[in-house]
Structure 1
């Protein structure tokens, strides 16, 4: 990664070379985080939470024209959220070539700013795709979930910010985005916790439903064969093992037979 210049050339967005006041930019980020916090319901899955994160981040940085979120999981990298679907191609060019600023941010766990046109030797695929879509500057910031009592800090991906302004994203913007991703990681953690809780509830509901079906089937067998509950259950288990069919499905089939015959 090239050293950050201390000043940036004038651009269409800042014709006098002036950037918004740092306090104003900090206020924008603070307001965006408040929106993210207030809008989060705790019932979103991870991709929905990341989409909300991308949309909110686009509001936090003055020169942001679009934001995507790259998620790294084992050997697979994907774009889980985007405020402009057309720019997902720029991310995907980096994944397929295994190089580019978003992967650099992920591997170094530090913010990476790229001015398009200055990294042709390092990331030619990224450069070509970015130029094709009119992107002039790119800032990628790693998203790291905080450590907990049960797990260490976990890197989940990168927040990628696109701009059509070459002078976009100075070191202050990098600091703002590091602050933003640190605070926003709470949103992702809550989404993951909700997913785990929802799956646990679904498993409990399925177990209770299966138990009810099996109890009904046992009752039908007890009535038909004048046997005990244990004997009826043994019949169901033996049929399940013989036919290699789940016990609940055996019970359901039995109840359907009883219903038709009745």
Structure 2
């Protein structure tokens, strides 16, 4: 259908734009794992995304399995893997391959473009009727809203840039082995005392995430 064709072109342009914004970018991919589907891939991502999905290991797989941003190496190449929208086949994971360890400016560029990529991918799949249902799209938007709210809380507490706030949330998630979206929701709950999903009270994040969020907020205020 026309919407899907347009959406596919938009995905390609967004990924190409992201790669152009990062010095040393060797490839960008968009995949669904454990379903094992490559939606788009440029440069080394065409081979390395497939290798990770076939072997069941690597940053792409870890990001999908743990539903959190992962930085690491695969086949000697530095990789940043970011899970975006969640469907029946698994998260849609954005992979960025670099010639160097990811720097703050690289993560910032990824942070700025990834929401657009995730939303475009969700719309493509929704129009195609293959992966996402309407309620899943609503949850995807709500997860991202919590992350943006949590970033705002960190920015206010530390007087830092949004990119630095996001990096702190990612590090906290990785060190505690708790999903980024759960840490973000827990931080919003810790500070604001409530969560809303647009239709009422949302389910509370896991207790482990709430404990991590309490410790993070205490540290931010000290």
Q: TM-score, normalised by structure 1?
A: 0.41
Bigger radius of gyration: 1
TM-score by length of 2: 0.47
